[in-house]
Homo-oligomer: A and B are copies of this chain.
Amino acid sequence: MESPRQPNPVLIFEGIQAYQRSAALKAAIELEIFTAIAAGNRTADAIAKTASASTRGIRILCDYLVIQNFLSKNGGQYSLTPESAIFLDKKSPAYFGAAIGFLLDPRLLAAYLNLTEIIRTGKTLTEKGSVAPENPLWIEFARSIAPMMRPAAEEIATLVAGEGELRVLDIAAGHGVFGIAILKQNPKARVTAGAWANVLSVATENAKNAGVANRHTTRPGDAFDVDFGGPYDLVLVTNFFHHFDQQECERLMRKIFAALAPGGRCVTFDFIPNDDRVSPATPAAFAMNMLANTPSGDVYTFSQFENMFRNAGYASSKLHPLMKSPESIVISTKA
């Protein structure tokens, strides 16, 4: 008996052409289409004039964005979706369009043009991929990803910042927004931000802009080698463990353990899929990024994190999903 559903070749055709969605979003953000529409330009002609672009180009681009649910269209007039209004209009406080600077950085994309070879050999294009020491890619990351991370950073701060004295170590801080959110939430907190020296200047600048520079200090260096100082009440490891294999993660967890005060907590912010490793879609799919651009990175389930933290000496680990992010946090406590 045949399957009741007729197999649809269009699914595969659309999958093969999915790269066009990335390119269209990038072009629309760079041409500030969403900002132009928010400002009241509703027709292809008006948007093209505002964007100093060709009308045919804008018309086809905007129709494409409607098809992909990033715009709406009614009687030839374009309008924003709830998502594009909040996150892609430059005048919106939650704008994060700049994230394409990192997410579509040519140094990351190069791997996807060679993905077959990477999967065949199990090796990244360059020896250490995106985790090579002092990789300038992370300056782009620090600069362009901060706005995308702020909602999660604030949510985490609400959960862990408390009210009393709090000595915080922000590992591989990059843009620094996770530590900065804690400083803004708790006026008695102090943050030491670690990262490669070339990246830390971005965190320092963000701390200055947030008015918390006097409680924000830095310790430049590679997280695996640098002297953390301490002891700390709280260590933040945000978007970091996924770059490494389990052995390396455990090594870092031990080093953090040693820098924690008794009862101190390590907060892991990461893409954490279910045990099936294919759900929820966003955290599970993130593994592809690690395959493409790191020698041994991956996403880890909560069971895997729990196990690694236990091996590293922590008394307990708890999983907390977040409202404002597809990533979750694990809070691991030193007894």
Residues on A lying within 8 angstroms of B by beta carbon are 3, 5, 7-27, 30-31, 51-58, 60-61, 63-64, 66-70, 73, 82-88, 96, 99-100, 103-104, 106, 109, 112-113, 115-116, 118-122, 148, 151, 276-279, 281-282, 284-285, 287-292, 296, 298, 326
Contacts and interface: CB of A to CB of B under 8 A. Distances in A.
A19 B19 contact: yes
Given A16-B100, A60-B298, A116 B282 contact: no
Contact of A278 (B3, B22, B63, B109): B63
Contacts of A96: 9, 12
A291 B23 contact: no
B14 A282 contact: yes
Q: Is the interface of A mostly helix, strand, loop or mixed?
A: helix
Given A11-B69, A19-B21, A23-B113, 9 more contacts: A9-B83, A12-B88, A15-B21, A18-B19, A18-B20, A27-B116, A31-B116, A56-B298, A58-B119
Nearest to A14: B282
Contacts of A85: 7
A288 B54 contact: no
Contacts of A291: 56-57, 60-61
A16 B22 CA distance: 4
A219 B17 CA distance: 33
Given A7-B83, A60-B290, A54 B103 contact: no
B22 A122 contact: no
Contacts of A281: 14, 67
Contact of A73 (B13, B16, B69, B276): B276
Nearest to A33: B119
Contacts of A19: 18-19, 21-23, 104, 109, 112
B288 A24 contact: yes
B122 A57 contact: yes
25 contacts: A3-B82, A7-B86, A8-B83, A9-B87, A9-B148, A12-B83, A13-B282, A15-B21, A15-B22, A16-B22, A16-B100, A17-B289, A18-B19, A19-B21, A20-B289, A24-B288, A27-B116, A54-B119, A54-B122, A56-B122, A56-B296, A57-B119, A60-B290, A61-B291, A67-B285
Contacts of A276: 73
Q: Which of A25, A57, A84 gathers most chain B CB within 10 Å?
A: A57
B20 A288 contact: yes
